[in-house]
Copies of this chain bind each other. A is one copy, B any other.
């Protein structure tokens, strides 16, 4: 389009109580998604902000239990990470047969610059007992879970190794500003490389535990239950994945030159290749215009296409440095997590 586009996209609303809204990712070319366009994914209503939110106790299997104040964290050496967060249910609407739950299209993903304190720095202060096995994070958000009478708090654990990873941070800033309340202000966990459910918002407390945590958001939700009743396993690392931002699926185009473009990402390693195909047989490399050395951001890719009249199906397949590629068929699972089949856009050219 020759004209400067002045129209603004909006978040796409999936539900309001609790609030679940998608990033209009097809329309965003920015590397740092503004907070107002960051997808919102909540299990419960927003918690009420109280002064207690500015205190973060770390207890349990530690040598010295300690209560950190917000100010302590601001004064410590910061860690800054540009990285994406993707909801494990992103693209759920694409599964066939359909899966119940929030019908996310492709926009339950966003990316920006997180700043905070490495969790390992905090755990260095408290120390760990030898029995420490996992670190449990509880948020201030709570409510009933799938028809149960009792209120539960949003809570998730990390294995001790992931908790001690250099890049697992207690974040207090996003894109150079304090976190917005809808995204966890004052303090949230940011676990790069893992699906978003791990990055607990509105942190209330951290407990080092000597057992395997089995809360509802860990042992019930965020578990892959395969179709064939083969063993279930937890949702952790972000799958290699991509989206086609242009053209949009089922668009009508004119013949001639078009730029096919999109994003590709992976929770492990970096994106090494993004290919497209018009027949599912012959694949050609696209140009990776932003090939980040950092592991945690998406890569932008594009391909110049001289479109001829007719109907075309554009397929896109990303590969990461761990050798993982998007599969032809998604791994269907009962709760609809981790969809990452080859991306597709059907277009009619006339």
* Chain A positions near chain B (C-beta within 8 angstroms): 1, 3, 5, 7-13, 15-17, 19, 21, 24, 26-27, 45, 98-101, 103, 146-147, 248-252, 254-255, 311, 346-348, 350
Contact = CB atoms under 8 A, between A and B. Distances in A.
B12 A12 contact: yes
22 contacts: A5-B17, A7-B19, A9-B13, A9-B21, A10-B10, A10-B11, A10-B12, A12-B12, A13-B24, A98-B346, A100-B250, A100-B251, A100-B346, A100-B347, A100-B348, A101-B252, A103-B248, A103-B249, A103-B250, A146-B254, A146-B350, A147-B350
A217 to B, nearest CB: 15
Contacts of A27: 13, 16
Contacts of A346: 98, 100
Contacts of A99: 250
A98 B19 CA distance: 30
The dominant DSSP class at the A interface is: loop
A100 B313 CA distance: 12
A282 to B, nearest CB: 24
A255 B255 CA distance: 53
Contacts of A13: 9-10, 12, 24, 26-27
Question: How many protomers of this protein does the assembly include?
Answer: 2
Contact of A3 (B17, B101, B348): B17
Which 3 A-B residue pairs are closest in the complex by CB-CB distance? A10-B10, A147-B254, A9-B13
Contacts of A21: 9-10
Contacts of A248: 15, 103
Nearest to A11: B10
B10 A16 contact: no
Nearest to A22: B12
Nearest to A20: B7
Contact of A250 (B16, B45, B98): B98
A17 B45 contact: no
Of A7, A45, A99, A248, chain B has the most CB atoms within 10 Å of the CB of: A7
Nearest to A101: B252
Contacts of A311: 100
A7 B45 CA distance: 10
A327 to B, nearest CB: 23
A250 B249 CA distance: 22
Given A3-B17, A12-B12, A100-B346, 11 more contacts: A1-B17, A5-B16, A8-B16, A9-B21, A10-B21, A12-B13, A13-B27, A98-B250, A100-B250, A101-B252, A103-B250
A113 to B, nearest CB: 24
A310 to B, nearest CB: 12
